Amino acid sequence: MEELELICFQLITFAGEAKSAYMNAIQRAKLGYYEEAENLIQEGNEAFLNAHKVHAELIQKEASEEENIIPNILLIHAEDQLMGTETCKIMVNELIEAYKRIDALEKKNK
Rg of the chain on CA atoms, in Å: 18
DSSP 27-44: HHHHTT-HHHHHHHHHHH
Nearest of 53, 52, 43 to residue 20 by alpha carbon? 43
> Could you give the residue numbers annotated as active site?
77
The CA distance from 8 to 81, in Å, is 10
